[in-house]
Chain A
Amino acid sequence: AQTVTQSQPEMSVQEAETVTLSCTYDTSESDYYLFWYKQPPSRQMILVIRQEAYKQQNATENRFSVNFQKAAKSFSLKISDSQLGDAAMYFCACGRGAGGSQGNLIFGKGTKLSVKP
């Protein structure tokens, strides 16, 4: 079974500053993927970034980057130059890799990020 833990229920960051959201996971799978999704007040889940577990290089998407520590089963999200539009709930999720169902993501409880002007 897979579990995903986000230990920070809420975080706050000043506009233009950098913030890091934490996520740890546990899985018995050798092949898996990790995701960060953003859910603004509109409730639409939006993919922020994804990481394939077999890749050692940390994924980056513009101002968003991850610190993937496979041995520690840690997958943190760093947001640089924070903007007001980054305010949202952020969910970390894990999915199995090849084989079986690919449509089953396990989500953490989420971290609510506030951005102060």
Chain B
Amino acid sequence: KAGVTQTPRYLIKTRGQQVTLSCSPISGHRSVSWYQQTPGQGLQFLFEYFSETQRNKGNFPGRFSGRQFSNSRSEMNVSTLELGDSALYLCASSSGTSGRVETQYFGPGTRLLVL
């Protein structure tokens, strides 16, 4: 099976702009989670989507949003970018159907630089 893919891999934006990142999960996986990784804060959970519904949300401002499509692909959007949004954004997928914690498989990440 193909792994989790994320596009684009690298992105440079300026403050105030918005950005959309995309994640395609492993075929058959219905749960997609997003994480932000920074040197200072480490890995922080953003949100999780399952069957097009947000199932859980981390402690991030409303500028961070996401959605999931019927084919389980997910996008996350960050509006009004700030310098502190510069980070590696990781997407992870799991089947999401067992009702228990499942192993999450991560994509290669999108590195966002805000200037």
Contacts and interface: CB of A to CB of B under 8 A. Distances in A.
A104 B45 contact: yes
A45 B56 contact: no
B1 to A, nearest CB: 15
Nearest to A107: B43
A100 B56 CA distance: 8
B72 interface: no
A107 B46 CA distance: 13
Contact of B31 (A31, A47, A102): A102
Interface in A94-111: 95-110
Interface string A71-114: 00000000000000000000101011111111111111110000
Interface residues of B, number: 31
Contact of B109 (A35, A43, A91, A108): A43
A60 to B, nearest CB: 16
Interface size class of A (residues with CB under 8 A): 20 to 34
B108 A103 contact: no
Interface of B: 31-33, 35, 42-45, 48, 50, 55-56, 58, 88, 90, 92, 94, 96, 98-109, 111
14 contacts: A31-B100, A33-B101, A45-B90, A46-B106, A50-B103, A96-B101, A102-B96, A102-B98, A103-B33, A103-B48, A104-B58, A105-B33, A105-B45, A107-B44
